Amino acid sequence: MNKIKPMSKSPVKTLAQQLRWQITLAGVVFVVVFIISLNALTLRSVDFAVDSFIKMEAHNLVKQLQLNPEMALPSEDSYQAVRNWESLPGFIQPLFPKDTIEDNEVYDAEYTDEQGVIKYVSLLRFVDQQGDSIYLLTLSDLEETEEVIGQIINHVSSGAIWVVAMIFVGLFMFVLWLLKRTNEPMVLLSEWAERLKANDQLNQDQFPIAELNDLAAQLKAGVDQITEYNLREQQFLKHASHELRTPLATIQACLDTLDFKLTGAEQTTVQRALKASLNMSRLSSALLWLARESEKPIDKSDVMLDAFCQQQVADHQYLIAHRPVEIQTQINADQIEIEEDLLLIVFANLLRNACQFTSEGIIKVTFDANALTIENPSDVSINASAIHTSVSEYQSFGLGLQLVERICHKLGWRFKYIEHPDHIQVTVIW
């Protein structure tokens, strides 16, 4: 049978804490992505600005040549223009393949001069009014260029960080305010649910959020249903127990009379019926005690464990007759003070279940001063669906185990059901 894997446990947080953490993480990721994107955009903008500046210089040069065709072209160390490719400096021509150069496109390259200084070179080819090509060349120190670009990026980034920080703080404060306003109805719902625990007749409050009203209605309906079920169960137990006690008393009186008059095998049969009637009377009294809301403790008595255990083992021998099953007992205490009738019901139910669901092997019964343990071999051939299930489904052994659990819960005893690979172990600790 496939078992559901338990969910991994994580720290429990409030809705506000979870959203606050998620928003903070999202904000940090947004800031980092924004800064990286801004730097990349700034670099592209600087490149575009440099190209635009060079094209503007070429446009101004064309206008000057139009006014004065005989004007000499500029020829400076950092800025010069020539009319043909062969007039370019010799160290420039290898940097730009001539065949790939197009008009009005800026091409960039780097080279190292004789002093070992790295230069940044930009080349633009354009056409003047007469249709002749002109090559415009700009040279600048790469280190100085990168320093200027770095200053631009730092200036833009610092300004952008302040803007983003103010936006993020404002957004964070708005979200906190929104969470506070949203959390107020949740707090009211939680307080109302707490009051609902103590007073199941509490009327449903009206909350400012429609979904909360729906949730409150479902909670109220669930509590009402459980309360109604518990009331019906208590009433049934009270009525059933009271109605059973009268006929049981009559049956027991009649059996006592027969036991007094009969002898031999007939008397043995009557004594068995008397014992069954007495057990039924104890069970009826236990049900009535469970149905009462009073927490008044039940009277205790001294129980001789060896005789108590051996008597129950003898009474249940008929369940394992004609089967290779043996009941072994281990008594580690002589006498204990305990609620005898309830212990008898608990022990009888657990022992009966062990006998019914064991086809062969040894049933081990251990009594200590403060615990009872019963172990029986697990047997899939009898009831696989009843035995090889989760701990929460141990009720499949029979209705008696539900009664055992309720008795243990009300007395403050601990009831443990453990399923091992080869056997099943139940323990009651008082």
Domains parsed from the chain with CATH numbers? 72-145 (no CATH), 211-291 (1.10.287), 301-429 (3.30.565.10)
Question: What does DSSP say about strands 361-367 and 414-419: parallel, antiparallel, or unpaired?
Answer: unpaired
Supply the DSSP symbol for 14: -
Q: Is the pLDDT of residue 268 over 80?
A: no
357, burial (CB in 10 Å: exposed 0-12, middle 13-18, buried 19+):
buried
pLDDT for 2: 42
User: Distance between CA 165 and CA 175 in Å, rounded?
Assistant: 15
Residue 367 has pLDDT above 90, yes or no: yes
pLDDT at 286 over 70: yes
The string of pLDDT tens digits covering residues 138-151 is 888 777 777 777 78
Which pLDDT score is estimated for 428?
94
Count the Cβ atoms, other than its own, within 10 Å of residue 398. Answer: 16
Confidence of residue 395 (pLDDT cuts 50, 70, 90): very low
For range 263-278, the mean pLDDT: 76
Residues in Cβ contact with 141 at an 8 Å cutoff, skipping those fewer than 6 apart:
117, 118, 119, 120
**What is the predicted pLDDT for the residue at 16?**
64
pTM over 0.85: no
Query: Token pair for residue 158?
Result: 């610092």
The rounded mean pLDDT for the chain is 78
Question: What would the pLDDT profile of 102-128 be if each residue is shown by its tens digit?
Answer: 888 888 888 787 777 788 888 888 887
What would the mean pLDDT of 382-397 be, rounded to a whole number? 40
- The total of other beta-carbon atoms located within 10 Å of residue 209's CB is 14
- Spatial distance between the Cα atoms of 194 and 216, rounded to a whole number of angstroms: 12
**Residue 361 Rama label (left phi>0; alpha psi -120 to 50; beta):** left
| Residue 188 banded pLDDT, cuts 50, 70, 90 | confident
Please tell me the least confidently modeled range out of 37-51, 133-147, 212-226, 230-244: 230-244
Residue given tokens 């409150």 in the structure block? 216
Tell the burial category of 54 from Cβ atoms under 10 Å away from its Cβ (0-12, 13-18, 19+). Answer: buried
